[in-house]
Every structure is written in structure tokens, then in C-alpha cells.
Chains A and B, each alone.
Chain A
Amino acid sequence: MIGGKKDLLGLEDLSAQEITGILDTARTFREVLDRPIPKVPPLRGMTAANLFFEASTRTRLSFELAEKRLSADTVNFQTSGSSVSKGETLRDTARNIEAMGIHLVVVRHQASGAPHYLARHLDAGVINAGDGTHEHPTQGLLDLYTMRAERGRIAGLKVAIIGDVMHSRVARSNIWGLTKLGAEVTIAGPPTMMPAEVERFGVRVAKSVDEAIEGSDVVNILRIQLERQRGALYPSLREYARVYGVTRERLRRARPDVTVMHPGPMNRGVEIAQDVADGEHSVILQQVTNGVAVRMAVLYLLSGRSEPPEAPSETPTVEATKSHDEPTLSPRR
């Protein structure tokens, strides 16, 4: 359980304390990843299903790795645009999941709110691995984890988020997490990609990338979705790179030890210049490693059973013997 819920649907739903709790747990798993045998047994006997209704390689790999490092069995379901309607797929999927006795469901879906639908219909814990243009909470958490690891804190950090905020679930999860933990968030991007009333998130909207980067501790650069470039939102990628691309030149306005982040996959030369992506400030690969640890933490925290516990047997309960940390005799479920 996280925050008393069996699911992780978004960082909007979590308190600062709950987010910090996940980050602290992730630190332990980060250490596990450095062990000679980077695998621990807490999810032994459990099955996690990775349902990817939208193509994604790295997030799926990261979750699968996290599940395996926790000793869970994993099944994968990947589809992109099947012939059946989206709604039908989701409903049928829910029923199938129910029938297969799956404990944890990781879902990526092109429709915002699709994980909420599954969460309502399933006893299994549901983890949102990115829904439409809503949230991508584990990405938000791994970004927070990385920022905390790099800068030592979140509160008071000046974080600039650059790019297509409107269509970015990464931006939303980052903004929720960062504002809850007390960072100062400034966003910048084309006005056509700023969602309505965005300032109500508690962020500052800068008029230019330069203004947003000025004095920042962290610059988090959003991926520009090439497929969104059709139509009226922005004239061309060339124009985008010129006006909103983060270059070494622009980065000079940040603090000298600025941390540069990107959720990947990068469009080098568009939203991020080649030498920034590979430069000394970039922690983009650390983000990938931290992602596995953060997902392990979330999977672990949600792996507790959600039904009420059985009546205590003759043996003392965990609480009673807690003074010396002795696990009790309980049948494995």
C-alpha cells in the first residue's frame, strides 16, 4: 500500500511524506542493484503483468527488470492499435487479469485515466506506467530521486522544465512531486503547448527558455513528440530547436553546477543539443539506473495483500514479537 491505496496512479494523490517514503525505500533498492547478485526475494510467488497498450521500450524494460530483481514472475502484453476498440480491449483485459490471478498490474495506455479504470475494476494493485497526457508517476519519482541524489535535497531547488508541457505526463508528475516537496518550478515552452490555467499547479511560467533557466539548479528537458508536430501547434522542428532547444550557450544562465535531465528517448539536436545530452552536467543515464530502483520500491510497497489479515493464530503476532524483529510463523500465500 502507498498512502493507504493499493494503486499508484499519480503523484497528485500522494503527500510529501508518502513521496519521501518511496524515495527512501528506493535508496535501499539502489544498493541492491550494486550487489554481486542484484536480486532479492520479497515478490517471490507473485506475478506482475506489464500491459503496454502503447509502444514503449525503456519503461517496459525498466519495470520488467525491477520485477525480476524482486523475484516476481512477469507476463507482458504489448499492443499498439488493435482492431478492437480501445474500450473493449481495456474491459476484456480487466476480466482476463482477474481470471489469471495476477497480483500487480503495470499499465501504459494512450488514454488518460485508463489505469484508473483498471484500478476500479481489479483487486490487483495497479501501477500507472504513463497514461495519455496525464501522469507518469514512476518517472516523476525517479526524477525526484535523481535530483535528491545529485543535489542533496528537493526543497528550495530551482527546477526549470522546458518543452511541451501540455502533452507531457512526465511534466505533470514532476510538477506535482516537486511542488509538494517544496521546489521552485519554472516552466517554459511554446504558448501553444502550455495547458490552460497551468499556473494553478503552483509553477511560474517563464516567457522564454533563457528566463526559465536563469539561476536554476536543475533543468529537466521534455521530449518533443515528433508526431504532434503536425498541424497548428508549432511550425516546424527546426523552429522549435531554434527557439526552445536547450544548448550549451543557453545553459550558461543556470548555476555552474546545474544538473541536466531528460526522460528519454532524446531527440538530439531538437529539444537538447548533442553536447548538452552528453555533457558533464547530464545525469540522463543515472536516471535510467535510478528508475529501476524506484520501480522496485513502488512494486515492493504495493505488494502487500489488500484483504484484511486472517485472525491471529496461537503464535504471537508480528507486533508482539517486534521488540526483537522476529518474523512469525505464517503460511505463505
Chain B
Amino acid sequence: MTSPLCLRGGRILDPARGIDRAQDLWIDQGKVAGLGEDAPAALRSRKDVQIVDVRGAVVCPGLVDIHVHLREPGQEEKETIETGVRAAVRGGFAAVACMPNTSPPLDDRPRIEYVRRRAAELGLARVFPIAAVTVGQQGEQLVEIEDLVDAGAVAITDDGKPVRNAEIMRRALELTRELGIPVIQHAEDPDLKGTGVMHEGWVSTRIGLKGIPDIAESVIVARDALLAERTGGRVHVAHVSAARSVQIIRQAKARGIHMTGETAPHYLLLTDEAVAGYSPSAKMNPPLRSERDRDALIEAIVDGTLDCLATDHAPHTDIEKDADFDSAPFGIVGLETALGCYLKALVEPGHLSLMDLIERMTVGAYRVLGRPGGTLEAGAEADVTVFDPESRFTVRASEFESKGRNTPFEGWDLPGRVLMTVVGGRIAYQTATSEATLR
């Protein structure tokens, strides 16, 4: 067992309990032991405590990203569980939930167990596997949901594709209702999307790329709101991109429907104008949308309509992305830029307090999954992120731990350098500079 850890003098931000004060954080046996004087005196007097001076930095519950594509098994050229979790802890994420659209998909017990085992061997970020809704993500036959949940799946989704069939969606919601897990929907009507590659609007008109209308997303969100209402199940809408979808989720919540939502950093910092040069690093699904959509998303994060902030980290090889826009695959990486992006998009302009941002990236995200976590309360798992909101860095894809270099933020100057990521009481990541300055 590793020795106890004390993060000394940081600004503790624990949204679950509304704590914002400079204090020492004590960690022992992989759990949070307490803050300052509240930590057991016996622990505080021990001689083998590793003390790290984190004065001036923010100390918060370990960030969690509930929408990540780790690509293993089957697409190891894009990413592996190892490179994915290395990227996660470098980005300040102590935990990620990974999507089942691997090859083959995570639709049976051995594959769910494989992901968990591999993550445990690496001992970096926690990995919560999300199982498929249907066998092979083919949209026809439901997976053995309870067996997969028993094996460790934290939710089900056919992400990468929508659950197109309303009957399947209805039954999945009914079968998960008592399990306390959400059905995560990649909300997209395949017919309305057609062969579209970007947001349908003035930019797509101008540059002649086939558009994906916002309603391709919103009609499925509306349908699923009705299904959630009727079944009492929980729908979580992945990567919400459109103002209309936000409106539906807001109304659903007001009616007491169990519907939650997330978005990703690029929808807040970029619009479809980023596609104007045909750069495949601006190609993702759902697509970057209009200014109006972007504003609506920010508003929805602020008022809680969107419950949590994810990344939709979707690594691809350079060779795949080095193509004309139509041929390039959808998706960009996000783990190593998300915190900085969210600070820039939400906190710097004053839309959201730092406390609320951390809430959406920790306890808010766990709540979506129906799991405990995301707090620094004594006895909680000692997942901690330490970052300096004032310290800025330049995004260099070449420095990423992820195999994916496909980011639209190359060269951007972002705030919030991550100094340390602690997972289960162990330091899983620490910057070289923080090692020097923090000790």
C-alpha cells in the first residue's frame, strides 16, 4: 500500500458539499481521510506521509468524463486502453466511461471484463465500461443487460449510432428502469442525417458540403423524452449540439421526465464556421453548429438543463484524418484539452463559476450514471485533480499521450494547466514542473 498523502494548502473545491476554502487534503488507504483538522490526528502525526505543497492550485474531486472512445479492442491503431487512460490522467480525468463501439462491440461479459481488467492492470484512470444496447450494435436484439451490469457496465448505449428503433428503445428503458442505469442515446435520425457531413446552414450552403440538420438530433431527443415519460426509464442524451434539443430536454425535466444531457467542449468554442477551410479536424458527429446553438448550450449548462460535461474523445489516425472532408471520419480527441476548453468557454467569460464547472465535471457526471462519487468527503474514493486555473498552456497535439492527434485546438492558448491527478490515493499523473515546484 502506498504511503498516506497530504496535499497541502490548496484551494479545496468540493461542489457536492459547497466547500471552497484553502485547506490540506489528507488521503490514506486510497480514501479521503479528511480536510485539515478534520483528518484523524493519528494520520496527521504520522512520519511516512508524502506531503505535496499545492498552494495556489485548485484541489477538486477527480474529474470524470462519461463519454470517451478508447477503441480497444479492435482499433488499437487509433487508441488503446493504455494510451487512452494516460491521456485521461494527463487531462486531469481520474475516471472515464468508455463507449462500446469497439470492434467487436462491448456487448458481452468477457469484453466488459476485459476492459475492466486491462484498466485495473494499468492502474491509471478508472475505466467504467458502457455496454451496447443491442447485440453487435445492430439495433435488433437487446444485449443481456443485467449480466453486463453485473460484470461492471455502468450504462448502455449504441453510441456511434442511435437506437433507431423506438420499440427497442422502449424495451431497453423498461429493462433498465429498476437497475438505476441510464440508456445513453446518440440522438440522430439516420434518414434526416443522410450522407451529411456538417451542420446544415449558411456555411454548408456556401462551401457545398452536405448538411446535417439540427432536427436530425432533436426529433430523436423528442421521441426519447416521450419514451422516458411513458416507461419511467432514464435517457441520457449524449453530445447535445442543438438549441432545439436543449429546449426539449428542458421541458422534459420540467415535466419530471428522467432525461439528462451532456455536451462536449468543441460545441462551446467552435461553430460551423470552423469547417469553412474543409479541415477534417473540424469534422465530428454531431457537427459543429451555429452561433445560436452554441449560445443555447451555454445557457443550458448554466441552468442545469445539461447535467454534465464530457469530451466525446474520438481518436483517429492521422492517415484517416488526412483526407478530403467527405472521406475523413467523424470525431476529434478531447481528453487532454477539455478542462482548459471548458475554463475558456464557461468560466473565463463569466458564464459559470469555477465551483459549478467542477460540479458538472464530477458529481454531476456521477449523478447521471446513478453512481456515488465526485466528492472529497471523508471516506470517499481518493480521486483528486489538482490544477492551476491561472496557468496557461499552448495545445500541441504532438505532446498528447493519446494516439489521436485530431484536434481543432492545435496552437490554442488555454488556461488551467493540470498539475496532478490522483486516482484511488495514488498519484497517476504529475507534471514534471509540478514535481519540482510542488514538493
Direct contact of A and B (CB under 8 A): yes
What DSSP secondary structure best describes chain B's contact surface? loop
Give bound CA distance, A113 to B278, whole Å: 6
Interface residues on chain A, size class: 20 to 34
**CB neighbours of A172 from chain B (8 A):** 206, 208
Give bound CA distance, A196 to B205, whole Å: 6
Does any Cβ of A come within 8 Å of B190's Cβ? no
> Do B327 and A90 touch across chains, with their CB atoms under 8 A apart?
yes
> Do A132 and B326 touch across chains, with their CB atoms under 8 A apart?
yes
**CB neighbours of B210 from chain A (8 A):** 133
Stretch at the interface among B152-160, B316-324, B374-382: B316-324
Q: How far is the CB of A196 from chain B (nearest CB, A)?
A: 5
Does any Cβ of A come within 8 Å of B349's Cβ? no
Give bound CA distance, A117 to B281, whole Å: 13
Does any Cβ of B come within 8 Å of A324's Cβ? no
What is the size, in residues, of chain B's interface with A at 8 Å between Cβ atoms?
23
Give bound CA distance, A111 to B280, whole Å: 13
Closest to B329 in A: A87
> Do A86 and B323 touch across chains, with their CB atoms under 8 A apart?
yes
> Do B325 and A113 touch across chains, with their CB atoms under 8 A apart?
yes
> Do B323 and A91 touch across chains, with their CB atoms under 8 A apart?
yes
- CB contacts under 8 Å to A, within B278-333, are 278, 319-320, 322-328
> Do A111 and B202 touch across chains, with their CB atoms under 8 A apart?
no
Q: How far is the CB of A47 from chain B (nearest CB, A)?
A: 24
- CB contacts under 8 Å to A, within B330-383, are none
Give bound CA distance, A87 to B211, whole Å: 20
> Do B208 and A112 touch across chains, with their CB atoms under 8 A apart?
yes
> Do B202 and A197 touch across chains, with their CB atoms under 8 A apart?
yes
From the candidates B201, B207, B211, B323, name the one contacting A90 in the complex (CB within 8 A).
B323
Does any Cβ of A come within 8 Å of B262's Cβ? no
Interface flags, B196-212, vs A, CB<8A=1, else 0: 00001110111111110
**CB neighbours of A134 from chain B (8 A):** 207-209
> Do B277 and A133 touch across chains, with their CB atoms under 8 A apart?
no
From the candidates B204, B277, B278, B320, name the one contacting A196 in the complex (CB within 8 A).
B204
**CB neighbours of A117 from chain B (8 A):** 278, 323-324
From the candidates A12, A109, A198, name the one contacting B324 in the complex (CB within 8 A).
A109
**CB neighbours of A88 from chain B (8 A):** 323
Give bound CA distance, A153 to B208, whole Å: 28
**CB neighbours of A200 from chain B (8 A):** 202, 205-206
Closest to A133 in B: B208
- CB contacts under 8 Å to B, within A127-150, are 131-135
**CB neighbours of B204 from chain A (8 A):** 195-196
Give bound CA distance, A112 to B202, whole Å: 15
Does any Cβ of B come within 8 Å of A72's Cβ? no
- CB contacts under 8 Å to A, within B203-226, are 204-211, 213
> Do B209 and A113 touch across chains, with their CB atoms under 8 A apart?
yes
> Do B324 and A86 touch across chains, with their CB atoms under 8 A apart?
yes
Give bound CA distance, A326 to B144, whole Å: 85
Q: How far is the CB of B278 from chain A (nearest CB, A)?
A: 3
> Do A111 and B324 touch across chains, with their CB atoms under 8 A apart?
yes
Q: How far is the CB of B406 from chain A (nearest CB, A)?
A: 14
**CB neighbours of B211 from chain A (8 A):** 195-196
Closest to A194 in B: B205
Give bound CA distance, A164 to B248, whole Å: 34
Give bound CA distance, A109 to B327, whole Å: 12
Closest to B206 in A: A12
Give bound CA distance, A197 to B272, whole Å: 14
From the candidates B213, B277, B320, B328, name the one contacting A116 in the complex (CB within 8 A).
B277
> Do B202 and A113 touch across chains, with their CB atoms under 8 A apart?
no
Q: How far is the CB of A143 from chain B (nearest CB, A)?
A: 17
> Do A111 and B327 touch across chains, with their CB atoms under 8 A apart?
yes
Closest to B278 in A: A113
Give bound CA distance, A236 to B323, whole Å: 35
Most chain A beta-carbon neighbours within 10 Å: one of B205, B326, B328 = B205
> Do B326 and A196 touch across chains, with their CB atoms under 8 A apart?
no
> Do A91 and B278 touch across chains, with their CB atoms under 8 A apart?
no
Give bound CA distance, A193 to B351, whole Å: 40
**CB neighbours of B207 from chain A (8 A):** 112-113, 134
Does any Cβ of B come within 8 Å of A114's Cβ? yes
Closest to B205 in A: A195
Interface flags, A146-178, vs B, CB<8A=1, else 0: 000000000000000000001001001000000
Give bound CA distance, A87 to B213, whole Å: 25
Interface flags, A76-116, vs B, CB<8A=1, else 0: 00000000011110110000000000000000011111101
**CB neighbours of B322 from chain A (8 A):** 87, 91
> Do B327 and A87 touch across chains, with their CB atoms under 8 A apart?
yes
> Do A132 and B209 touch across chains, with their CB atoms under 8 A apart?
yes
**CB neighbours of A133 from chain B (8 A):** 208-210
From the candidates B201, B208, B319, B323, name the one contacting A197 in the complex (CB within 8 A).
B201
Q: How far is the CB of A222 from chain B (nearest CB, A)?
A: 14
> Do B205 and A112 touch across chains, with their CB atoms under 8 A apart?
no
> Do A197 and B205 touch across chains, with their CB atoms under 8 A apart?
yes
**CB neighbours of B208 from chain A (8 A):** 112-113, 131-135, 169, 172
> Do A198 and B325 touch across chains, with their CB atoms under 8 A apart?
no
**CB neighbours of A90 from chain B (8 A):** 323-324, 327
- CB contacts under 8 Å to A, within B175-211, are 200-202, 204-211
Q: How far is the CB of A174 from chain B (nearest CB, A)?
A: 13
Give bound CA distance, A197 to B205, whole Å: 7
Closest to B211 in A: A196
Q: How far is the CB of A169 from chain B (nearest CB, A)?
A: 6
> Do B323 and A87 touch across chains, with their CB atoms under 8 A apart?
yes
Give bound CA distance, A86 to B213, whole Å: 25
> Do B320 and A87 touch across chains, with their CB atoms under 8 A apart?
yes
Closest to A110 in B: B326
Closest to B319 in A: A91
Closest to B200 in A: A196
**CB neighbours of A87 from chain B (8 A):** 320, 322-324, 327-328
Give bound CA distance, A116 to B326, whole Å: 13
Interface flags, A181-198, vs B, CB<8A=1, else 0: 000000000000001111
Pull 8 A–B residue pairs with CB atoms less than 8 Å apart, ordered by A.
Answer: A86-B324, A87-B322, A87-B323, A110-B326, A131-B208, A135-B208, A195-B205, A196-B213
A-B pairs, top 9 by smallest CB distance, nearest first, are A87-B323, A134-B208, A113-B278, A87-B327, A195-B205, A111-B326, A133-B208, A112-B208, A197-B202
Given contacts A86-B326, A87-B320, A87-B324, 15 further A-B contacts (CB under 8 A): A85-B327, A87-B323, A87-B327, A109-B324, A112-B207, A113-B324, A113-B325, A116-B278, A131-B208, A132-B208, A166-B205, A196-B201, A196-B204, A196-B205, A200-B202
